[in-house]
Every structure is written in C-alpha cells, then in structure tokens.
Amino acid sequence: MISNQLYAQDRPNIIWLMAEDMSLDLECYGMHAVHTPNLNLMSEQGVLFNNCFVTNPICSPSRSAMMVGTHQVKINAHHHRSNRDVLLDKQYKPFTYWLREAGYTCILGHHGVFDKGRKIDVNFQHVAVGPWDGKEQFGLFDKLDHFEKEDQPFFAQIQLKVTHRGDWWNEIRNQSDHPVNPDSVKLPEFMADHSIIRLDWARYLDQVEYMDNEVGMIFRELEEKRMTDNTIVIFIADNGRCNIWGKGYLHDPGLHIPLIVHYPGGLSGASVRNDVVSATDITATIMDMAGIDLPEYMSGQPIFNEGFNREYVYAARDLWDEIEDKSRAITSGNWKYIRNDKPQIPFDAGQAYLEFYRPAVHIMRQLNSEGKLNEVEKLFFQKTKPAEELYNLANDPLELNNLAKDPDYASVLENLRNTTCVYDEKMKPVSDIYHPIVPNSVEVLEWVKNEKPELYQEMIEGVEIGLKTLSNEYRKTKR
Ligand SMILES: [Ca+2]
C-alpha cells in the first residue's frame, strides 16, 4: 500500500465530467444554434470521439455499468432504480475501489456546479462516502465537492446535472444573456416543426450552454491550481437527450453520447476518432491511465491502448419505472440492430414520468390524431414495436428506414442477430435477484388528471409542468 502511494505521486489526476441526458448536442459536434466555446476548446486540444455509446439509454443502468466497468446486465444492475438493497456480487468491485487501492483520493461532486453534481444512481447497495468492502461497507468515494493539491493524485467524478429536465430550465433560460432563438434551431427530421417544440429545443440548448460554462470553470480552477498538465479531463454524458427517440430508446438519440478526452501532458490534441467505443471503456481507460491492472471481469477496454479493438457496443433496455420492457441492441457505428422482445409495448408507452417531461410527445400525439404527421414523424407512434430493427447508420443516421424486412439485407440482419445472441450469452446476469421499485409517478399523474384538470390540460398542450413539486404536494395529501 505504501509503495503504491509513493508511486501514485507520479500519476495523473483524472476528472470525469458527466453531463446528464445529452446527445451530441454541442457546437464541436455540429449542433446548430448552440455555442459551447469551452467544450470546443477542449476538443481542439484533446481527442474527440464520434462513436461512443452507452450500454443503456437511461441513468441508473448506464451509470451502474460505468461504475463497475462491466455491462449492467452481467452484474444484474439492469433494472432502473432496482436492487438498491442487493450487494454487488462479490467478484465485482466499483472502480473507485481499485483507484483508492492505488493511492487515489476519490472525490464526488463540485461545489461550483449546478446542484453540486453528486448524483451516483447505481443499482446495487452503496453509499456516497466511506470505505468499501462490499459486505458491510459500501462507500464509493472519499470526499465531496473539492479537489485540492493535497488530494493528488485524485479522481473526481462531477455530474453536470443542469441538462437533465427539471423545474430550473425556464429560470436558466431567463438568466441567459443570449437565450437560444427558437427560430434558429434545427430540429431532427423525425420531429414535427412546431413552435412549442422549437422553444423546448431552444430551452434545452440554453442548459447545454450553461453546462459548457461549468466546464470552463473547472478548467480555470485547474489552471489556477497549476494542475492542467497533469490532469486528464474526460467529458461524457450518461445517456442521450430527453426527447423523442432519446433517453429510454435504443436508437441513437438515446445511446449515442459525446466523448472528449483532454490531457495535454500525455495526448496530442486536435484529433478525432471514429472507432466505436462503449461507456464502460471509459472506466477501463481511467484505471489504465492510473496504472492499475484491469480485473478480468471488466467488459470495458482501455481506449488508448494499442490493443483496443471493439467491434460492437451491446446495449439493453429493461425495466423503467412501470414499464417492464426488454430490448437488446448492438451497434458498430455503421449498423444498428435492435431486437424487441416485447413488441406489444409501443414506443410511445404512456410512461407516467415521461408524460411530465416530454412536451414534444404531447404536441406530436395531438398532431398524429389529427392526421398531421408525415411518415417519418409518425414512426414514434406506431401501435406496436417491430420485433426487429435494422438501420444502416452510414446512409440513415436518423434511423428512419428499418431494413429488417428488406431481403437485400438478409445476411447483414442474420449476422447482427446472431452476434446479439452471442452477447446475450456473454452478458448473462450473475444472479436473478429482482427487487423492482414502484415509482409514485403513476399515482401522481392520475391525481393531477383528477384533481388538477386545468394543469393536466396545460401539460397536454405542451407545457412542461414538472413532476417534483407536484409529487411533494401529492405526498402531503396522503399524510
Ligand atoms: Ca441521465
């Protein structure tokens, strides 16, 4: 342990910045109408990845996989917010355990970012701060909110939560010196061009700009503390944007995330990589950069090693609140295959939580009922899901043309279908313990419908009425 700590002094600090619920919606990835000067600079001086994907399109399963560096299905952490009272199977450890063993101080959050950035959200027994033995002690980090010289080498995981939908979005937009003009945004083709949808998109980009500013603040702090050269900064998201086909879906707006790595002391800048990377590879990369041998169980691989050779990212959608779905996908960056084991659950499943947070769905549902959506806009509102989906991402990046039934692509389909089965086998859960949680969003939605019909009507008309405040109010009525 002592020798590790001595050796550790030469090791780089590592900061992992994780934006919430964001797709490749940055200026440096070509998004229109948004200005992200700090992330632009980070990518100019660092390495930008064009094909990074999470292993589940929502928070907790995705974060569980990243925390262990192993696919969430394999470690039985794939059901959203479930199994929080279940121990991580003893063969696995959170990667912060290994970092601490190697002499790193592990820090969660930052005092200067929105809401302090302390979200963990993993589906096994854990606490934020304290030691870990996996039996009686479940601490993932050593301290909160500040990285200092005496913490070196340190690992800091900072959540940039502002981009997550919440009651603060209007306030952030109102405070902005340069609110994004709804007329300047460019909506993806699968969304209806409607003033409320444009405004909602602009509001989202306002949060992205706020978040970019937070990234700039972290870099300034590194500069002031003279840590820039020996600190690796990694920027990533935990899942895609909370909008149509995004968060919750195995389509690219749900799975495809930004990844930028900045390390002036060790990586040459201004480079772009197009090979396919899994979010679990980031975990492996951090351990590798900290000089730690990777445990056998890790499904992630270090992305800067010569031997890095990922062909596919395997992703899964399972329980999310009251929707017990099961779908699996693989992507090579050029091709995407999705197998929907429960095709009877439609894409627009009426999930209570999303009713509160997807203005575009309400608007487009209404337009659909009036027969006003075009063919690609209508896809989201199919009565059932196709059992299989196949997309040629090179020609069809928006995944509008399902080729699964096209005989010309039968062999591609067959190959990807079989490869998915290989992954199903490889990532088989280590146990079948299943302790699902029942969210109260279903009851709150019913209550709003019955007790606050005017507010409910506003929601249907595209106003994001939010869940948190209403949920608190509802709880009081139950006392
Ligand atoms: Ca998230």
Count up the domains in the chain and report the number: 1
Residue type at 418? Answer: N
Q: Three-class SS of residue 86?
A: coil
256 CA distance to ligand 1 middle (Å): 13
Tell which residue, 348, 355, 277, 268, has the closest CA to residue 311. Answer: 277
- Domain membership of residue 279 (yes or no) is yes
How much distance in Å is there from the Cα of 324 to the middle of ligand 1? 19
Distance from the alpha carbon of residue 477 to the mean position of ligand 1, in angstroms = 29
Calculate how far, in angstroms, residue 163's C-alpha sits from the geometric centre of ligand 1.
Answer: 9
**Residue 450, in any domain of the structure:** no
Strands (E), 207-305: 231-237, 256-262, 271-273, 277-278
CA of 20 to the centre of ligand 1 (A): 5
Rounded distance from Cα 422 to ligand 1 centre (Å): 28
Query: 238 CA distance to ligand 1 centroid (A)?
Result: 5
Q: What is the DSSP string of 382-450?
A: -SS--SEEEEETTT-TT--S--TT-GGGHHHHHHHHHHHHHHHHHT--S---------THHHHHHHHHH
Q: What's the 478 CA to ligand 1 centre distance in angstroms? A: 29
From first CA to last CA, the distance across the chain in angstroms is 52
For residue 61, how far is its CA from the centre of ligand 1 (angstroms)?
10
Strand 271-273 to 277-278 pairing: unpaired
CA 82 to centroid of ligand 1, rounded, Å: 16
* 344 is a domain residue: no
Distance 121 CA to ligand 1 centre (A): 9
Percent helix, strand, coil in the chain, to 5, is 35, 15, 45
C-alpha 479 to ligand 1 mean position (Å): 31
Compute, in angstroms, the gap from residue 258 CA to the centroid of ligand 1. Answer: 13
Instruction: Confirm whether 207 is domain-assigned.
Output: yes
Q: Residue 270's domain is classified under what CATH number?
A: 3.40.720.10
236 Cβ contact partners less than 8 Å away, ≥ 6 residues apart:
16, 17, 18, 19, 52, 257, 258, 259, 279, 282
Residue 248 Cα to ligand 1 midpoint, Å, equals 10
Q: Collapse the DSSP code of 477 into the 3-class scheme (helix H, G, I; strand E, B; otherwise coil) and give the result.
A: helix
User: 161 alpha carbon to ligand 1 midpoint, in Å?
Assistant: 8
CA of 164 to the centre of ligand 1 (A): 7
Question: How many CB atoms sit inside 10 A of residue 417's CB?
Answer: 15
328: CB partners within 8 A, 6+ apart: 250, 314, 315, 316, 317, 338, 339, 341, 420, 423, 424
Radius of gyration of the chain (CA): 22
Ligand 1 centroid–CA 98 distance in Å is 25
Alpha-carbon distance values, 367 to 360, 372, 377 (Å): 10, 5, 10
Give the domain range for residue 223.
Answer: 2-311
Q: Is residue 425 part of a domain?
A: no
User: What is the distance in A from the centroid of ligand 1 to the CA of 53?
Assistant: 13
Q: Which residue has the tokens 């399902």?
A: 402
- Residue 372 is encoded by which pair of tokens? 């006003």
Would 16 be classed as within a structural domain? yes
Q: How far is the CA of 184 from the centre of ligand 1 (A)?
A: 26
Distance CA 69, CA 95 (A): 7
Residue 9 has a pLDDT of: 53
CA 286 to ligand 1 center in whole angstroms = 21
Assigned domain for 353 exists: no
Q: Tell me whether residue 419 is in a domain.
A: no
Read off the pTM. 0.96
The span from the CA of 114 to the CA of 102, in Å, is 30
7 CA to centre of ligand 1 in angstroms: 35
- In this prediction, residue 475 carries a pLDDT of 93
How far is it, in rounded angstroms, from Cα 206 to Cα 309? 37
Q: 325: CA distance to ligand 1 center in Å?
A: 18
Tell me the CA distances in angstroms from 320 to 58, 124, 429, 439, one per residue in order.
Answer: 8, 16, 18, 10
Cα of 32 vs centre of ligand 1, distance in Å, is: 22
Q: What spacing in Å lies between the alpha carbon of 267 and ligand 1's midpoint?
A: 29
Q: What is the pLDDT along the chain (479 residues), one digit of tens a residue?
A: 344 444 445 899 999 999 999 999 999 999 999 999 999 999 999 999 999 999 999 999 999 999 999 999 999 999 999 999 999 999 999 999 999 999 999 999 999 999 999 999 999 999 999 999 999 999 999 999 999 999 999 999 999 999 999 999 999 999 999 999 999 999 999 999 999 999 999 999 999 999 999 999 999 999 999 999 999 999 999 999 999 999 999 999 999 999 999 999 899 888 999 999 999 999 999 999 999 999 999 999 999 999 999 999 999 999 999 999 999 999 999 999 999 999 999 999 999 999 999 999 999 999 999 999 999 999 999 999 999 999 999 999 999 999 999 999 999 999 999 999 999 999 999 999 999 987 899 999 999 999 999 999 999 999 999 899 999 999 999 88
Q: How far is the CA of 58 from the centre of ligand 1 (A)?
A: 6
